[in-house]
Structure 1
């Protein structure tokens, strides 16, 4: 176990998109571990450390809402990018007005979570990369609300506000009681194994979801 923190995050809207939905965006019921890791990395990340999410506390009632948004239907072909890298003259741009599509989104509203996580030192750490050094950096940045880029709740248009929960501070209480099976949920992307998507069975107990490590169980797709 490495050095850990507890982070309170909240926002007006969130959308943790289910990958099985191909056209419309449909959010999971709660924050995914990969989204939680993204928030932590927005505050502090270096190649010398790796964030591991231990558990997620769901504080507020799970409430869904529907919106419709204009999105771009396509993307710049990878082949054009490779041609441009070779010096060929190609168009590397998109005209949103010519490729606009309106899509529905089933999102979450008025969300609040506690992320319990720790970081571990990786093989990329240098002699100056001590655990104490990075831990103090994380604490300082989280206390002051600093981040490398503004964290978001699933989609960039849904910003996440955050604050550090100190060690001697009691945790905010969840409104959820009992157990609730949330089904299969995206755990994270295994970048070391051909970017394989890893899933786990998410069960919320008294508002808390225990997050397994990447190498523990789950299924890959």
Structure 2
């Protein structure tokens, strides 16, 4: 696929929180990562407002296991609450994603250099990302390395279909949709032999408005151009 990137991400724990479990202060992870969680990982590897990261599919490599922990949340008003968080344990995922230019950003038309963005993207995967990688929550550190999607043995190979029920797909931000509002998307994924094929955000039919929001303005004054970034990397600058 054009502008495609493939990588593997792993970690000791992950917390892809089911929002229905947060009402009482508890947190329970979904069995698998959401589209938005994987997109967040992709954007931690390389992000520019000029482009939109599209997650194509994820492959669940390790068996789905959970572990509960007693956590004391930070309470700025005082208190000594003990909450129960249920994490995924020993996770490993293969991811295939690609980027497209954000056509809702005419202010960044000058930064649309497909070849250089892809080149930097691939180098950032090799380097393990430009920012820290988190698996759904800050306390769940992740690690990224390049891979060939589909290669290697996965626990759910030839396992058949697993219906995962109604889940959050992701968040619609105004700079990506052209609408001045924040929205949440829902869908009903099916894992087939360990692989979840994501539908595109605009294909989600279950959309709920969260709040009104306007996009942040970007231009050449507050965004480093891909040409400058590419030149830094060619010269041995920081990733």
- The corresponding residue for 2:15 is 15
Supply the distance in 2 between the matched residues of 1:129 and 1:63 (Cα, whole angstroms). Answer: 42
Q: Deviations over 1:164-184 (max 9, x none)?
A: 125xx8623321111100111
Aligned residues: 196
| 3-state SS, counterpart of residue 127 of structure 1 | helix
CA shift, 1:126, in A, is: 2.8
Q: What is the distance in 1 between the residues matched to 2:89 and 2:70?
A: 15
State whether residues 59 and 150 of structure 2, in contact with CA within 8 Å, keep that contact through their aligned partners in structure 1.
no
Provide the residue aligned with 1:186 in structure 2: 168
Deviations along 1:93-119, one digit per CA (max 9) or x if unpaired, are x46xx1442110111000000111110
Give 1:130's match in structure 2, choosing from 113, 135, 157: 113
Deviation (angstroms), 1:200? 1.1
Runs of 4+ that moved beyond 3 A: none
> What is the TM-score normalised by the length of structure 1?
0.83
2:35 equivalent to 1:6: no
Preserved contact between residue 2 and residue 120 of structure 1 (Cα < 8 Å): no
Higher relative contact order (CA closer than 8 Å, sequence separation 6+): 1
Candidates 73, 87, 92, aligned match of 1:107:
87
Query: Partners in 1 of 2:137 and 2:143 — Cα distance?
Result: 14
CA gap of 1:170–1:57, structure 2 versus 1, over 3 A, is closer
Q: Deviations over 1:168-212 (max 9, x none)?
A: x86233211111001111111112352111011110000000101
* Helix, strand or coil at the partner of 1:110: strand
Q: Who is 2:216 aligned against? A: none
TM-score, normalised relative to structure 2: 0.77
Whether the aligned pair in 2 keeps the contact of 1:71 and 1:102 (CA below 8 Å) is yes
Distance in 2 separating the partners of 1:100 and 1:150: 30
CA shift for structure 1 position 145: 1.9
Alignment RMSD: 1.7
| 2:147 is the counterpart of 1:160 | no
| More displaced stretch, 99-108 vs 133-142 | 99-108
Relative to its length, the structure with more helix (as a share) is 2
Q: Pick from 192, 196, 201 the counterpart of residue 205 of structure 1.
A: 192
Unpaired stretches in structure 1, ≥5 consecutive residues:
74-93
Matches of 2:205 and 2:6, distance apart in 1: 25
